[in-house]
Amino acid sequence: MIKDTLSSLRNIKSSLFLTKNAKPNFKSVMVVCRFVDMLMLPLLYIWEYRYHKSISELGVEKHLMEPYERFLQDPLAYTWKSYLFVQLGVPGHISKQIRGMVLSSYELLIDKDNYIKCEK
């Protein structure tokens, strides 16, 4: 499920550049891409700490490594913030199906009975 969700989020980023218009609105594209990147961070954490697998298996973009290190300082708080944004429908470029996949994945982390804290 994590791989599928990450793949769907990456597809959203790619699709932003494949518009019918000759010139996409790069400011809007950049905002959505950053938000999608933020949504990926809890998924990386779940992959690494809940399933005990290396995030390198996921082909993580290099530009996400520094934000991921900051995310590790308080993964539960950051995930809750992301969860709330997704629940509110932000950003609007995410379909209901992908939104559901993201929320289901996040619930693996925010469920207090199953919360796995990183040991770094």
Please report whether residue 115 resides in a domain. no
CA distances from 65 to 62, 71, 101 (A): 6, 10, 23
Residue 18 predicted with pLDDT over 70: yes
pLDDT, tens digit, for every residue of 77-118?
999 999 999 999 877 878 899 999 999 999 888 875 555 666
Is 72 a member of any domain? yes
Burial of 59 (0-12, 13-18, 19+ CB in 10 A): exposed
Q: How many domains does the chain have?
A: 1
The model carries a pTM of 0.86
Residue 46 included in any domain: yes
What type of residue is 54? S
User: Which domain covers residue 95, as residue numbers?
Assistant: 2-110
Domain assignment present for residue 118? The answer is no
On average, the pLDDT of the chain sits at 87
